Amino acid sequence: MTKTLLDGPGRVLESVYPRFLVDLAQGDDTRLPQAHQQQFRERLMQELLSRVQLQTWTNGGMLNAPLSLRLTLVEKLASMLDPGHLALTQIAQHLALLQKMDHRQHSAFPELPQQIAALYEWFSARCRWKEKALTQRGLLVQAGDQSEQIFTRWRAGAYNAWSLPGRCFIVLEELRWGAFGDACRLGSPQAVALLLGDLRVKATQHLAESINAAPTTRHYYHQWFASSTVPTGGDHADFLSWLGKWTTADKQPVCWSVTQRWQTVALGMPRLCSAQRLVGAMVEEIFSVNLA
């Protein structure tokens, strides 16, 4: 029997559910044009819905289903799960965009504008509630706890199925979607600078140790990508591509080159790079998006 995505690569990733919820709200994605990538998204959707006992929604093509149906499912899932502040924010932002669009082509769903408006208010209210709850609990303490937890997993080999830069990307993204990212979005500029500075140091040190080199020792980029001791293709490659689908070759050349391995590397990807440069670039690319 084929191993499921959630028992395989997804087993060690906490951000899968909130990412999927945003993915579902946004619908079909032309940034994943290859057929096997679309198939991956469908597989992931069916597995996630089965896990939360919503098998009746697992018919094929839900990601391309009419907007009204997708939003109904998004609301249902968001009621069952705790998507986190970033997912709630991104969904609310997408609903705000939908409110400005002309939906007359959806004549089969005449109440769609009212549905979008109601959901926007609901998700916006949840964002405000979540933000208040997070700030009352102590953002820096929660960020530190999550950072320690994720780095412990990295050191224990939880992400070893990916290349060294791939592991680092996953660590940074797990942090962005969790309490660490919440602190970077909601904390003071001084707190954010402290968090990101500490993150650069820890990630650089561990990435350098993983390749048995000093933090400033440069290697050709293909050495970094070939540094995994286990195969990194198949589901693991598709998972990494999905996790990094928000990146573009122009704006996030390093993260794009690390995650979209079915493409050639971006022009902005340094051909010779140290652990320090890789981490610095990925932290900047990932957390500048986080703060936007």
Q: Which of 137, 164, 182 is the last residue of a domain?
A: 137
pLDDT at 292: 44
Q: Does residue 3 form part of some domain? A: no
Same domain (yes/no): 94, 166: no
**Could you give the CA distance from residue 144 to residue 231 in angstroms, rounded to a whole number?**
32
Q: Does residue 92 form part of some domain? A: yes
**Lowest model confidence (mean pLDDT) among 63-77, 127-141, 193-207:** 63-77
Same domain (yes/no): 133, 165: no
List pLDDT tens digits, range 256-274: 999 987 667 888 888 999 9
Same domain (yes/no): 154, 124: no
Q: Which of 88, 110, 137 is the last residue of a domain?
A: 137
* Strand residue runs (E) in 129-270: 218-220
Name the residue range of residue 82's domain. Answer: 9-137
Same domain (yes/no): 196, 266: yes
Same domain (yes/no): 118, 58: yes
User: Counting Cβ atoms within 10 Å, is residue 108 exposed (0-12), middle (13-18) or buried (19+)?
Assistant: exposed
Yes or no: say if 29 and 245 are a contact pair by the CB < 8 Å rule: yes
Q: Does residue 271 form part of some domain? A: yes
Q: Which of 261, 279, 114, 254 is nearest to 202 (CA)?
A: 279
Confidence band, pLDDT 50/70/90 cuts, at residue 227: low
List pLDDT tens digits, range 178-206: 999 999 999 999 999 999 999 999 999 99
Residue 274 backbone class (left: φ over 0; alpha: ψ -120 to 50; beta: rest): beta
Same domain (yes/no): 147, 286: yes
Rounded to an integer, the average pLDDT of 107-117 is: 84
Yes or no: say if 236 and 261 are a contact pair by the CB < 8 Å rule: no
pLDDT at 33: 55
Same domain (yes/no): 110, 149: no
pLDDT at 16: 92
Q: Which of 137, 152, 178 is the last residue of a domain?
A: 137
Q: Does residue 1 form part of some domain? A: no
Same domain (yes/no): 281, 153: yes
pTM for this structure?
Answer: 0.91
**Could you give the CA distance from residue 134 to residue 186 in angstroms, rounded to a whole number?**
9
pLDDT at 60 over 70: no
Q: Does residue 124 form part of some domain? A: yes
Same domain (yes/no): 15, 44: yes
Q: Does residue 268 form part of some domain? A: yes
Q: Does residue 147 form part of some domain? A: yes
Same domain (yes/no): 26, 69: yes
Q: Does residue 87 form part of some domain? A: yes
Confidence band, pLDDT 50/70/90 cuts, at residue 107: low
Same domain (yes/no): 129, 143: no
List pLDDT tens digits, range 83-96: 999 999 999 999 99
Instruction: Domain count for the chain, please give it.
Output: 2
Same domain (yes/no): 67, 143: no
